[in-house]
């Protein structure tokens, strides 16, 4: 293959063994001393979410709800509208909501923002994810409180049944 490239007159790179070794060792040192923040997170660590029902949001041990925003932010603050959809369905206090603008991984789908499409396209999946999470949290709260789920309600990140209650973070 190299001979074919040389015959075609295409530029080639001359790399001496010494240069290759220096580059390889340098790369090894770079990877060996990555900062802990850049290292992959351990999913069993204390920082792992308490409740992670979908790709759209998670709730951490402090009750903070992180909503993943998969639309481009171009100054229109679309993240606020999308996070509000999840927060309203999930019945969480807005003060406990954080936004996470995601990367361009294909799992997030089409990330185009324009033509007032963001809320229109995102409403159904976000509201369903929030509502499903609320139902799951009410059912688990009812189990922990020892009552029927029909006796419970959710509001401000708390599942309550009469005078007894439990927070989403618990």
Same domain? For 73 and 140 the reply is yes
Q: Which runs of E-coded beta strand occur in 5-87? A: 57-59, 65-69
Gap between the Cα atoms of 19 and 108, Å rounded: 41
* Residue 39 in domain: no
Give a yes or no: residue 42 inside a domain.
no
In a domain, 40, yes or no: no
Contact 126, 108 (CB under 8 A): no
Q: Specify the range with the lowest mean pLDDT, choosing from 17-26, 31-40, 62-71, 145-154.
A: 31-40
Same domain, 22 and 62: no
64-100 residue pLDDT tens: 999 999 988 787 888 999 999 999 999 999 999 999 9
Buried b (16+ CB within 10 A) or exposed e, 81-117: bbbbbbbebbbbeeebbebeeeeeeeeeeebebeeee
Number of domains present in the structure of the chain: 2
- Residue 101, domain member (yes or no): yes
Q: In the predicted model, is pLDDT for residue 27 greater than 90?
A: no
Residues 156 and 76 in one domain: yes
Secondary structure of residue 132 in the 3-state scheme: helix
**Is 23 within a domain?**
yes
* Strands of the 65-69 sheet, one edge to the other: 57-59, 65-69, 97-101
Contacts of 5 (CB under 8 A, 6+ apart): 12
Q: Taking the alpha carbons of 79, 80, 85, 91 in that order, is the dihedral positive or negative?
A: positive
Give the distance, in angstroms, between the CA of residue 150 and the centroid of all CA atoms in the same chain: 31
The answer to the question of residue 68 being in a domain is yes
Same domain, 120 and 67: yes
Range of the domain at 24: 2-32
The CATH number covering residue 96 comes to 3.30.365.10
Alpha-carbon distance 78 to 116, whole Å? 10
Reply yes or no on whether the pLDDT at 156 is more than 80: yes
Q: Judge whether residue 40 has pLDDT over 80.
A: no
112 plus 69 within the same structural domain: yes
Residues 66 and 131 in one domain: yes
Same-domain status, 99 and 163: yes
Residue 85 lies in a domain: yes
Looking at the domain assignment, is residue 90 inside a domain?
yes
Residues 78, 21 within the same domain: no
């Amino acid at each position: 293959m190299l001979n074919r490239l040389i015959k075609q007159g295409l530029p080639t790179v001359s790399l001496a063994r010494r240069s290759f070794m220096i580059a390889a060792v340098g790369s090894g040192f770079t990877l060996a001393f990555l900062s802990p923040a850049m290292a992959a997170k351990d999913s069993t660590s204390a920082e792992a979410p308490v409740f992670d029902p979908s790709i759209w949001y998670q709730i951490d041990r402090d009750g903070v709800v992180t909503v993943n925003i998969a639309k481009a932010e171009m100054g229109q603050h679309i993240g606020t509208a999308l996070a509000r959809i999840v927060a309203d369905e999930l019945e969480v206090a807005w003060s406990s909501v954080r936004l996470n603008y995601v990367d361009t991984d294909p799992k997030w789908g089409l990330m185009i923002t324009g033509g007032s499409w963001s809320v229109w396209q995102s409403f159904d999946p976000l509201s369903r994810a929030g509502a499903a999470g609320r139902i799951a949290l009410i059912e688990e709260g009812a189990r922990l409180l020892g009552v029927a789920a029909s006796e419970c309600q959710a509001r401000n990140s708390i599942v309550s049944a009469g005078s007894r209650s439990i927070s989403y973070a618990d």
